[in-house]
Amino acid sequence: MSKARDSIEDLKTIDANFAAKAPLATPSFTGNATITSGNLVIGTNGKGIDFSANADSSATGASTTSELLDDYEEGTWTPALKFDGNNVSMVFSSRQGYYTKIGNLVTANCYFALSDKGSSNGAASIFGLPFTNSNVSLNYSAMSIVFNGMSFADMVVGYITPNETQVRLREVTNAGAHTALVQSNFSNSMDMMMTISYRA
């Protein structure tokens, strides 16, 4: 009986030691690993998939700042056209925005249509982006755009500057002169779709 009791106590000790060390385990696989059901869950903020083993050859002038894929998210946002930050009495007949964030790169697209452009005036911007553009030097991004019901000369452009959540809308003449689009450039029934990728 004594030996049996000792064996049980030994097993309890081994089990306790194993349990204590288990969280420190670092599994390593050779070949593919497949999760047949469920997700791979990253349980700690800032952790992800490390690609640093890849022997990439950098193009001239490029430098690597991170090889850790540490974020993914998709969802919706609500675009808002504003003039100098306001849109008094503006009526949207429809509007919807979608985004996908992979690492620190956000791609946001949207569509909106007006039935009344309201009474606000000033420089036109699209507000409501889902993330703040990161505040690093020269972090500018440009958008692509298609629209109806706008007058301009000779080309419409848009961009986001560091530390902001608005896309500034501008017109550029063939001679290269930049000015802000303002309320008079927009009709009451205009509509617009746009996409922008930027670094959050």
Partner 1 sequence: MALTKEVTQDKIEIVGDFKSVQVRTKTAVMEDGVELSSGFHRHVVTAGDDYSAESAELQAICGVVHTDAVVAAYAAHVEASSPE
Rounded to a whole number of angstroms, the minimum distance from the CB of residue 82 to partner 1 is: 11
d(CA 102, CA 84): 31
The label of the residue with tokens 């530390």 reads 163
Q: Is residue 100 near partner 1 by the rule CB under 8 A? A: no
Which residue in 164, 172, 182, 193 binds partner 1 (CB under 8 A)?
164
Q: Are 141 and 198 in contact (CB under 8 A)?
A: yes
Site for partner 1 in 169-188 (CB under 8 A): 170, 178-180
> Minimal distance in Å, beta carbon 93 to partner 1?
20
Q: How far is CA 20 from the centre of its chain?
A: 40
Size of residue set near partner 1 by CB under 8 A: 25
139: Cβ contacts below 8 Å, ≥ 6 apart: 133, 161, 162, 198, 199
Site string for partner 1, 63-92 (x = CB under 8 A): ----------xxxxxx--------------
Nearer to partner 1, 14 or 142 (CB): 142
Q: Which is nearer to partner 1, 160 or 192 (CB)?
A: 160
Shortest approach of partner 1 to residue 44 CB, angstroms? 15
Return the number of the residue (113 or 168) whose C-beta is nearest partner 1: 168
Tokens representing residue 83 in the block: 């003039």
Closest contact distance (angstroms) between CB of 91 and partner 1 is: 18
Q: Could you give the count of Cα atoms lying within 13 Å of 196 in the half-sphere of its Cβ?
A: 31
For residues 91 and 114, the answer to whether their CB atoms sit within 8 Å is yes
For the CB of residue 189, give the shortest distance to partner 1 in the complex, in Å: 26
Q: Phi first, then psi: what are they for 160, rounded to 5°?
A: -120, 140
Residue of 132, 139, 141, 197 that binds partner 1 (CB under 8 A): 132
Which range binds partner 1 by CB under 8 A, 28-36, 62-70, 164-172, 182-190?
Answer: 164-172
Decide: residue 112, CB within 10 A, 0-12 exposed, 13-18 middle, 19+ buried: buried
**85 Ramachandran zone, left/alpha/beta (phi>0; psi -120 to 50):** left
**Residues near partner 1, by CB under 8 A:** 73-78, 99, 123, 128-132, 134-135, 161-165, 168, 170, 178-180
